[in-house]
Chain A
C-alpha cells in the first residue's frame, strides 16, 4: 500500500514537472455566426503559434446567452479558476472581465475582440496606450469607404436608409460616422430603427419610397434577420450595401468589410504574443486592416442594378 502511494506520488510529481497547460477563459455574449467565427479564429491562431489544445492550452468557453448578469458570473468563474488569460468577445463581456479582474487584484491579461469603440467603452485609455493589463482588436468598420461602394456601382444615390438597432452601442458609433461622412459624400441619411429582429421587415419596408438605397452596418439585430431586408430590397429594387461580407453571401448586393474569422485570427495573434510574455498594455489596440470586397451578381439582378466590369475586377469574391 505504502509503495503504491509512493509510486502514485512520484507519478504526480513527474506529471507536474511538465509545464501545466495554460488556462484561457473565453467569454462570449451570445452565439451568433460572426462572434462564433471570431472565437474560432482566435483559437486557430493560438494553435498556429504552437499551443496544442488539450496539451499546452485549455479553453473554458462560456456564453452568457445575452444575459449581462451571467456575463458577470462568468468573469468571476474565470478569476476564481485563476485563468492565465481571459478573452472577451463583444463589449459588455469585455467590460465585465476588466472590472472583475481589476477588482480581484490578480494581474490577469484581458484581451477583447469584436468591440467597436474600446475607448468609449472605457476598456482602454487610448488606442496607443491602454493604461492597464488589457488590449485587443476593434471591429470598427470603415463606414465612409462602405458608403462609397454605391458610387463604384455608378449609382446616383441621394437618400440612404440605414437600418440598425439604436440599442447597440456599436451601431450608434457607426451611424454617427455615416452621418459625419454624409455631407462629404453628398447624401442624406435616413434612420430606420428596430428594437428586435422581428421588426426588421417593417423597418425596411418603411424605407420604400423614402430611400433610394439601403445600408446595414455591422448591427447584430439587423444582420440576424437580414433576409427580411433582402426581401424588401428585391421587391422594391433598392440596392442594399452591407458592413460585413458574410451578408453578401446571404443575398445583399455588396460589402467592403472584413470577415470575423480573420478578425479572430488577428486577436489570436495578440493572445499569442501575450502568452509568450509580452505585456498586454504595451500592445496598442488594433483595427481590422485587411478589407475584402464581395459582390453578389444574382442579388444585383434582383435589385435591378448593373454591375460595371470595374467592380467585378476589383472584387475579392463574386457570387454568381
Chain B
C-alpha cells in the first residue's frame, strides 16, 4: 500500500467514524438495530450538495444536513415507539422512503460538486496539500463528535439512554420514558450519520443517490472492530475504539485493493469477499488474545 493510499484510508476512516459513532449510539448504547442509516447518510450528502450547488455556505449546509438526518431518525423512532413497528422494520421503512426523498431533495440522482468551494477548500487555499487538509478537518470533526458523545453519555439524559439500552423494563419501572430516550438516541444517531454524509459529498466531490449502499455494514464493522481493538469498558474507550475501528476497516479495504489480482482465481469483483474475510480475521484476534492470556495465567 502506498503512503497516499494509506492517508486516503485514514481520511475515509475518520470520515466514516463519525457515521460509526452514530451507529454506536443506536446499536450498542440503545440496543436498537437501526437500518435507516443507509438512507440518512445519502440524505446528509443530498442536502449539503444541493445547497452548495445553489450557493449556500458549506458549513451552514452541514448544519441543515444534521437537522434533516435527525428528523429522519425521529421518524424511525416514532414508527417504533408510537406505531409499535419492530425497530428493524421501522428503520427499513425509513430507509426506503428516504431513497425517494433524497431524489426529491437533489432533483436528480447525482449532484456534482467538482469545482465548488467546500469546507475543505478554505484550508487547502492556505497551501496545505489536500490529503493533509482532509485528514485535519475530518480528524477534528471526529474528535469533536467523540468529545461531545463522551460528555453526552455522562449527562442525565445520556445515562438514561444507556439505561434504556441495558434494561428497558427497569427504566420503565422507575417511571422514566423509554420512548423519549429512543427518540433522542435515534435522532442524534442519524444526525451524526447525515453529518458524515454531508462531509462525504464535500470530500469526494459529488452526492449520488446510491452512495448509501453499505453504510450500515461499514458502521457495524467499525463498531465491532473497535471493540476487538480496545476492549470497551466505559464510554471513553468505546468512542476511541469506534474511531480506530473505522480506520481499521478502511485500511482493510485498502489492503484488499492491493491483493494481487489476475492470479489464480481472485478477480477484482471479489473485493467485498476479501474485505469480509479480512474483517473476520481481525475479529478472531480478541478470542486468540484471551486464549493466550488464559494459557499464560
Min distance, Cβ B89 to any Cβ of chain A, angstroms: 18
Min distance, Cβ A167 to any Cβ of chain B, angstroms: 5
**Given A70-B271, A73-B12, A122-B115 contact (CB < 8 Å):** yes
Partner-binding segment picked from A77-85, A146-154, A200-208, A283-291: A77-85
Complex partner residue of A73 from B211, B213, B250, B269, CB under 8 angstroms: B250
What chain B residues lie within 8 Å of A186 (beta carbons)?
none
Contact assessment for A66 and B213 in the assembled complex, using a CB-CB cutoff below 8 Å: yes
Complex partner residue of A80 from B8, B113, B124, B200, CB under 8 angstroms: B8
Contact residues of B between 180 and 216, Cβ < 8 Å to A = 200, 204-206, 208-211, 213-214
Contact assessment for B257 and A74 in the assembled complex, using a CB-CB cutoff below 8 Å: yes
- Interface SS of B by simple majority: helix
Contact assessment for A72 and B5 in the assembled complex, using a CB-CB cutoff below 8 Å: no
Give the tally of cross-chain contacts (CB within 8 A).
134
In the bound complex, CA of A236 to CA of B130 (Å): 57
Partner-binding segment picked from A92-100, A135-143, A263-271, A298-306: A92-100
Partner-binding segment picked from B77-85, B104-112, B234-242: B104-112
Contact assessment for A195 and B206 in the assembled complex, using a CB-CB cutoff below 8 Å: no
Contact residues of B between 229 and 278, Cβ < 8 Å to A = 250, 253-254, 257-258, 261, 268-269, 271-272
Contact assessment for B2 and A169 in the assembled complex, using a CB-CB cutoff below 8 Å: no
Q: Looking at chain B, what size class is its interface with the partner chain? A: 35 or more
Contact assessment for B103 and A166 in the assembled complex, using a CB-CB cutoff below 8 Å: yes
Contact assessment for A68 and B130 in the assembled complex, using a CB-CB cutoff below 8 Å: no
Contact assessment for A72 and B12 in the assembled complex, using a CB-CB cutoff below 8 Å: yes
The yes or no answer to A123 lying at the interface (CB within 8 A) is yes
Complex partner residue of A91 from B12, B110, B129, B261, CB under 8 angstroms: B110
The yes or no answer to A65 lying at the interface (CB within 8 A) is yes
In the bound complex, CA of A142 to CA of B250 (Å): 41
The yes or no answer to B114 lying at the interface (CB within 8 A) is yes
Contact assessment for A73 and B254 in the assembled complex, using a CB-CB cutoff below 8 Å: yes
Contact assessment for B110 and A121 in the assembled complex, using a CB-CB cutoff below 8 Å: yes
Min distance, Cβ A25 to any Cβ of chain B, angstroms: 10
In the bound complex, CA of A81 to CA of B268 (Å): 17
Contact assessment for A103 and B130 in the assembled complex, using a CB-CB cutoff below 8 Å: yes
Measured CB to CB, the nearest residue on chain A to B257 is A77
What chain B residues lie within 8 Å of A28 (beta carbons)?
268
Contact assessment for B12 and A68 in the assembled complex, using a CB-CB cutoff below 8 Å: no
Complex partner residue of B9 from A76, A91, A105, CB under 8 angstroms: A76
What chain B residues lie within 8 Å of A99 (beta carbons)?
114, 204-206
Complex partner residue of B1 from A68, A80, A92, A122, CB under 8 angstroms: A80
What chain A residues lie within 8 Å of B6 (beta carbons)?
80
In the bound complex, CA of A80 to CA of B5 (Å): 5
- Per CB-CB distance, the 6 closest pairs between chain A and chain B, nearest first, are A76-B8, A80-B2, A80-B4, A99-B205, A103-B130, A122-B112
> Could you show 26 A-B contacts with beta carbons less than 8 Å apart?
A65-B271, A67-B213, A68-B204, A68-B213, A69-B218, A70-B271, A72-B8, A73-B8, A73-B9, A80-B5, A95-B114, A96-B204, A100-B8, A103-B134, A104-B129, A121-B110, A122-B112, A122-B113, A122-B206, A123-B114, A167-B209, A167-B210, A169-B109, A169-B110, A169-B208, A195-B96
Residues of chain A touching chain B, judged by Cβ–Cβ distance below 8 Å, are 28, 31, 60-70, 72-74, 76-77, 79-82, 91-92, 95-96, 98-100, 102-105, 120-123, 166-169, 172, 195
Known: A62-B268, A69-B214. 8 other contacts (CB 8 A): A62-B271, A73-B8, A77-B1, A79-B8, A80-B4, A103-B134, A122-B112, A169-B108
